Amino acid sequence: MRSIKAQYFLTFAVMGSVLPYLPVYFAERGLSDTQVGYVLSLGGLAVLLTPVLTTLLADLHFENRTLLAWVCAVSAGSLAWLLASRGFWWILAVHGLFSLAFVPVLSLQDGLTFTETSRRLKAGLATLPYHRVRVYGTVGFIAPSIVLYVLMSDFVGASIGVSLLCGAAVGLLAVGNSLLLPRTRGAVSISSPSAEVPDPHPPEPPGGSGRGTPTMQAARRMLQPDVALFCVAMWLVHLSVGAFYAFYPIYLTREIGVGNQWLGPISTVGVLIEVFFMLAFGWLLKRFGLKWLMTIGVSVVAVRMALLAFAPNLAVAVGTQGFHGLMVLVVHVAPPVYLNHRAEPAYRNSIQGLYAMVVFGTGRIAGTLLAGLVADSSGTGTLAVFAWSAAAAGVSALLFAVAFKDRSQTPIDP
């Protein structure tokens, strides 16, 4: 699984090259907070379109690695084009192209990882649980911040636009690595590729999973009460986290007075802590169970947002990065693992894409649009953004604590 680990490293390095810098880059290009919200919301809008399509293609016709090569190539080209774009409408269009291309990457990688893990288990080969593969993405996110700090320091003096060039270059490396990934067409699958979130219940009622396209089968699974409630609670989390990712860099530069070159290193503080949480995911899941891990993690998200809103200073802005690792586990790691164990082999890719569309996409659209409007219209700017983000995460934590039924009861093998 060496090539899969490398793919996570490279695609997350693309994100590490651009996510901490894009909002500030757009602001320096003269966009208002509302316009920044519009542009970044296209990332959520893209999730409504391409992940569900590409994962359906992966389940029906195409190799995951071929699809990954194409989306990484278009992503790299659009980042280079974005650097040359001027004006709100051009920036909106080109960033929209980047979002359309890049957002399927995570769902395609997760689907490929679960399929290859399943095949290796069936063949009696050594494998790794999902979180120990996904941690290579965490390391990849960190790597660009070191290079970009040097390039944007006073010693070199590069503009913030160099982050886009870095993302494009790493994207091209991801294209090459995609061609080394294992084939998925015809791979043997089993219903539960690891023992992290087992499902002791029958996988589907009679007449359920065997009818319709993979996307329709995935939709029927997601409408089951436990999965549906999970998705509703996670939608509220993405509403909150979407606002955070969009405006935390602007919060640092505008409210706290941080220089552009420090945006990457400050993000790296949280991502370094994330590594330890990622490696401990299996133990945490065994210790607390899915229900209480999600409850605790989402509560931490609410506390993080509240601190940013009501205690705006450098120590809090950097210190709350200590919460980042647990936030990533409940937002980006637990959901694909949970969904994979609620799926069957015929729609293993499609359930990831459908979740990305229905939950991740619409939540991020609403979060970034609302954040931009609130930042421009309120008297306190980004402080008001984080205040309502804390409220949304708090409601989600209550849903997990009170209403969610944890169906993962088999001991976990971390």
In this structure, what are the phi and psi dihedrals at residue 74, rounded to the nearest 5 degrees? -65, -35
Helices 362-377 and 225-250, packing angle to 10 deg = 40
Contact predicate 363/239, CB 8 Å = yes
198 lies in some domain: no
Q: What is the mean pLDDT of residues 397-401?
A: 96
Average pLDDT over the chain reads: 83
29 lies in some domain: yes
243 lies in some domain: yes
pLDDT band, very low/low/confident/very high, at 278 (cuts 50, 70, 90): confident
Reading the block at residue 71, the tokens are 């989306």
Reading the block at residue 198, the tokens are 């087992």
Domain range for 22: 2-181+213-402
pLDDT band, very low/low/confident/very high, at 381 (cuts 50, 70, 90): confident
Give me the residue label for tokens 């220089």. 259
Max distance between CA atoms of the chain, in angstroms, equals: 67
Summarised one tens digit per residue, pLDDT across range 15-44 is 989 988 888 899 888 898 889 888 888 766
- Which region holds residue 405: left if phi is over 0, alpha if psi is between -120 and 50, else beta? beta
254 lies in some domain: yes
407 lies in some domain: no
For residue 52, pLDDT beyond 80: no
- Which region holds residue 158: left if phi is over 0, alpha if psi is between -120 and 50, else beta? beta
Summarised one tens digit per residue, pLDDT across range 196-225 is 444 433 444 433 445 678 878 888 888 888
Rounded CA separation 343/55 (Å)? 14
166 lies in some domain: yes
For residue 174, pLDDT beyond 90: yes
For the chain, what percent of residues have pLDDT higher than 70?
88
CA distance readout (Å), 409 to 188, 210, 294, 365: 26, 26, 15, 34
Contact predicate 243/391, CB 8 Å = no
Residue 185 has a pLDDT of: 62
Rounded CA separation 364/15 (Å)? 16
For the chain, the domain total comes to 1
Residue 409 has a pLDDT of: 44
User: Residue 324 maps to which CATH number?
Assistant: 1.20.1250.20
Q: What is the mean pLDDT of residues 371-392?
A: 87
201 lies in some domain: no
Q: What is the mean pLDDT of residues 181-201?
A: 49
191 lies in some domain: no
Rounded CA separation 148/309 (Å)? 28
Contact predicate 64/349, CB 8 Å = yes
Residue 206 has a pLDDT of: 37
Residue 211 has a pLDDT of: 62
Summarised one tens digit per residue, pLDDT across range 104-155 is 888 788 878 888 888 888 888 888 888 888 889 888 988 898 888 889 887 7
**pTM of model > 0.75:** no
